[in-house]
Amino acid sequence: MSYKPPRKEKQVVTGLQQCTLGVAFIHNLQRSVGICVCICALLMVFPARTPAMAPLADSDLSEIYGGSGVSINPDIMLDITIDTSSWGDSDGISGYANPWPATASGGRVGANNIVISQLHARSRMTDSFSGYDPSTMWKPITIDVATSPSLYNGATFVRLGLGALEISWDHMQLEVALGTSGDNLNQKLGDLYMGRLDLYLNPSSYIDIYNGRGPDQCGVTFTLSSIVDRISMECVSWGDSDGLPSGNIGSGGIVWMESGGSQGWIGLHNIEVGGPISVIGSFAVDINTSSSGVYCSLAGNPVTVAHISFPTNLCLHTAGPITAEVRLDNLRSLDSPDAGVLGSIYISQFDLEIMQESFVDIWAH
């Protein structure tokens, strides 16, 4: 007689058992998710990191007390369009600051049809401008908050490391105009066109933001150490979209230019700015309301002022050379076969320095 295995009884799961199993499954799932969250949090709290952008000696590293840092590697392309952007003066020429006759009303100045095409920000991975080597010098954008007894009198600061970035666009264009209202800039002055741009940021660049006034005062100070290795631009041009409709008829009926002409453009073509181009120094911003002093005496009442000061020299240095051609053309790109070349520009080096203790005050009149 052949062997037959014992018959298994079919298990019947009741509704109560199903509920119990479901609750247990959800509980285990919650516990697993909680463990994953804890692990991620630990990885975020204890990242392997170094202070952003500025090279520091070992002695400096021992004095830095920073929290967790953020690194960002963008590769973003944008198309930007704005119909109208304007700045308005509601009362025109009036008030104590103007010695001229008052106007009946104000107006607005701004731009129509603003377009920035293919604005692209990405890491520098292929160029070698100013000795850059992407295999050894590449840095991401970084954000750190740190404190050092040897920097800014011990003030805590935010350091924005600008990273090894390449910034470009295909072109930018806008129409400059005036008008009586923000949505009606119908008095056109001309068109601005900027061709292909390529800009290469040095990976050591950074901006520090902190309170330079002291722990019991308020104010924001910016310290810049920004270096650009190269800038090139296809063209910058200013255009007149309808030319000179009436033409130019001289005395005696001489037709210098006939009526009914068309658009024209003037500007710079093949612009090259040799690097490094650096902006190094500090400026501070405070907002103050004063009840005495020259500004208040002129206004006859308390005046609120935006005070921009320079606690250190702010220096712009361009190693150069800076080169470009000056052209006239009927195309905004200044590259038609009929383009007229007025001449060329060559600048071997350019330096601009805003001296320490300079300031700019801005207020309303």
Label each residue of 272-303 as H, E or C.
Answer: EEEEEEEEEEEEEEEEEEECCCHHHHHHCCCE
Mention every residue, 6+ apart, whose C-beta is less than 8 A from residue 349.
Answer: 318, 319, 320, 321
Residue count (the chain) = 365
Enclosing H/E stretch for 365: none
The residues, any chain, with a CB within 8 Å of residue 329's CB and separated by 6 or more, are: 237, 264, 265, 335, 336, 338, 339, 340
Evaluate whether residue 168 is within a structural domain.
Answer: yes
What dihedral angle (degrees, nearest 10) is formed by the CA atoms of 297, 299, 301, 304?
-100
Phi, psi of 41 (to 5 degrees): -65, -40
Do residues 346 and 326 touch, judged by C-beta distance below 8 A?
Answer: no
Distance CA(61)–CA(59), nearest Å, equals: 5
Q: Is residue 321 part of a domain?
A: yes
pLDDT value for 17 = 41
Two tokens, residue 242: 């309808």
Structural domain for 213, as ranges:
56-362
Which CB contacts under 8 angstroms, 24+ apart, belong to 76-79?
76/120, 76/121, 76/122, 77/118, 77/119, 77/120, 78/116, 78/118, 78/119, 78/120, 79/115, 79/116, 79/117, 79/118, 79/119
Indicate whether 33 belongs to any domain: no
Distance in angstroms (rounded) separating the CA atoms of residues 281 and 311: 9
Which pLDDT score is estimated for 316? Answer: 97
How many distinct structural domains can be found in the chain?
A: 1
Position 40 in a domain: no
Mean pLDDT by 10 residues, the chain (365 residues): 44 41 41 40 37 43 60 98 95 84 91 98 95 95 96 96 98 97 94 98 98 92 97 98 92 90 96 96 97 87 95 96 98 97 97 98 92
In this prediction, residue 296 carries a pLDDT of: 87
- Alpha-carbon distance of 66 to 148, in angstroms, equals 9
Q: Report residue 21 as tokens.
A: 């199993």
Classify residue 68: in a domain, yes or no.
yes
**DSSP conformation letters of 164-185:** SEEEEESEEEEEEEEESBTTB-
What local confidence, expressed as pLDDT, does residue 44 receive?
37
- Whole-number pLDDT of residue 281: 98
Is residue 37, in this structure, part of any structural domain at all? Answer: no
Q: What pLDDT, on the 0 to 100 scale, is given for residue 7?
A: 46
Give tens-digit pLDDT for 313-335.
999 999 999 999 999 999 999 99
Place of tokens 């400026």: 283
What pLDDT score does 157 carry? 97
pLDDT in tens, 125-145: 999 999 999 999 999 999 999
pLDDT at 361: 97
* 119: nearest Cα among 166, 176, 72: 166
pTM for the whole structure: 0.78
The reply to whether 238 falls in a domain is: yes
Q: Is residue 48 part of a domain?
A: no
